[in-house]
Amino acid sequence: MLSSQADGVEKRVSLHGHWSSRLAFVLAVTGSAVGLGNIWKFPYVVGQNGGGAFVLVYLACVALIGLPVMVSEVLMGRRGRRNPIATMALLGAEEGTSRNWRWVGGMGVLAGILILSFYSVIGGWTLSYVLKSASGMFSNATAPEVTAIRDGFTGSWKTVVSFHTVFMALTIFVVARGVERGLEQAVRFMVPALLGLMIVLLGYSISSGYFGAGLSFMFSADFDKLTWDSVLAAMGQAFFTLSIGMGAVMAYGAYLPKETSIFGASVTVAIADTMIAILAGLVIFPLVFANGLDPADGPGLVFITLPLAFGQMQGGVFFATVFFVLLSFAAWTSAISLMEPAVAWVVEKFNHTRAQAAVMIGLIIWAAGFGTALSFNVLSDFKFLRGTIFDNLDYLTINIMLPLGGVLIVVFAGWVMCRNSTSNELGSSGTLYRLWRLLSRFVAPIGILFVFLKAVGLLPDLS
Ligand code: TRP
């Protein structure tokens, strides 16, 4: 019985094709993971949450929560070989529980749409900085000048919407054509190039004379300053940066060849992603302190510090342009993975072509993007709950929907799926397997729920 079930799973194939190799999968997931979350968001959430203690909590979340969730997503995706909604329905039925697990997939699809609605606006912002850098307008600019350029951009809703439109069009274009070829190629070049440029920038920030200040801001932990709300933000950031909790990695896992080691691939991606985020912080904070800027400046932080640094460098126009091109690439390869679950679902469920599905979903996301695009200008004074529309979308998706999706995913993989199914899929029952199971059954779900309930004030203080 068991072996025949295993055989059936073995023969399952994805409607959308498969990655050509293990490397292709690792690159695609790395392309999804490495994005605006590392270079744009990480430094500013660290800044807003006071530095070192936040960074340590974030690293713990990546290792203890992020990795087990990622492994669970990949193994579920590969076992189901369908879009996340159908995969969860299928596996739920197969494990003898309920097809209603599909609602976890459904929440993921929705989270992807909402995240991409603001992600694309920031993606457009990076595109516009490619043009600004190339025009040389940052050469020898001062901090107030660079700030004025940033405010000029965000202040004009037409400009923000135009670049958001271009970014969405690029994303729809690639998703419509299928993820394999173009994307694999782009990522193969993009990740090493981005890393190389970050190292050049690191050299510059070390020479700024404020490297020590940046280092101590990022790594000297003052736990007194840490609130449960920042712990939740650290956990949300871990989910966001690893692209987990909404089924993007599950969708990519569905295209993964059977032989690939899921543990190996996941650890590789997590390390590459974490390195790029830390490097971004080490580049940005020394420049913040050297120029008397505020580390808690928020979403515009990298759009000020980096142009400022490039403006003072030899060959700065060239390096700045290359940098924003690479950042746009990084955002692009991430955006694609945010759309993939929704598009795969529409293709499978309604028999549309990929192109039709990508355009349909893309238009919905584009329209939703106005909420964020206008949050920086016309509607900047329209505030409720957490702040502007953008602030609320950001909080709802990253701090609530991703952790909630994550907890349901690890609980499914750790408790609902039987030992045989998971150890068969992971190709192991040794130490690593036992470690994963321990983390997925206990550490990750309890950790996520605890942080979540603490942050929303539903757990009382015992002291
Ligand atoms: N990880 C990407 C980044 O850091 C963003 C991203 C892509 C994402 N796909 C995702 C976040 C899926 C959550 C879920 O920029």
pLDDT tens sequence across 6-26: 546 767 888 888 888 888 889
Ligand 1 centroid to Cα of residue 463, in Å, is 37
Burial of 219 (0-12, 13-18, 19+ CB in 10 A): middle
Residue 8 domain-assigned (yes or no): no
The more confident residue out of 20 and 143 is 143
Q: Is 217 in the pocket of ligand 1 (CB under 6 A)?
A: no
Of 114, 240, 365, the residue with max ligand 1 atoms within 8 A of its CB, to mutate for a pocket test, comes to: 240
Residue 123 lies in a domain: yes
Confidence band of 194 (pLDDT split at 50, 70, 90): confident
Question: What integer pLDDT is reported at residue 2 of this predicted model?
Answer: 40
- Tokens 């900085």 correspond to 129
Distances (CA, A) of 357 to 10, 23, 340, 346: 28, 28, 10, 6
319-328 pLDDT tens trace = 899 899 989 9
Does residue 38 line the site of ligand 1, with CB under 6 A?
A: yes
Q: Work out how many domains the chain is built from and give that number.
A: 1
Range 429-433 average pLDDT: 94
Position 7 in a domain: no
Q: Give yes or no for residue 282 CB within 6 A of ligand 1.
A: no
- Predicted TM-score (pTM) of the model is 0.95
Residue 208 belongs to some domain of the structure: yes
The ligand 1 atom at the shortest distance from the C-alpha of residue 334 is 7
Q: Which domain holds residue 391?
A: 15-455
CATH number at residue 24: 1.20.1740
